[in-house]
Amino acid sequence: MKNIFPKVFIKHMLCFLPLLIIGISAAGQQNRMVKVQQLYDSLKSYQITNPETVLATAIVETGWLECKDCSLTMNNLFGFRLDSGYIGFASYSDCLAYMKKWQKAFYIPWKAKHPDANYYDFLVYVNYAQNMPDYIKSIQSLERWILLNVDANKSELAGLSFE
Pairwise CA distance, residues 69 & 76, whole Å = 12
Pairwise CA distance, residues 10 & 140, whole Å = 47
Pairwise CA distance, residues 20 & 141, whole Å = 31
| CATH code of the domain containing 60 | 1.10.530.10
Tens of pLDDT, residue by residue over 90-115, are: 999 999 999 999 999 999 999 999 99
Is residue 141 domain-resident? yes
Is residue 132 domain-resident? yes
Is residue 31 domain-resident? yes
Pairwise CA distance, residues 89 & 107, whole Å = 21
Is residue 162 domain-resident? no
How many structural domains compose the chain? 1
Instruction: State pTM to two decimals.
Output: 0.77
In angstroms, how far is the first alpha carbon of the chain from the final one?
Answer: 59
Q: Is the pLDDT of residue 4 over 90?
A: no
Give the structural domain span for 131.
5-154
- CA atoms within 13 Å, Cβ hemisphere of 87: 16
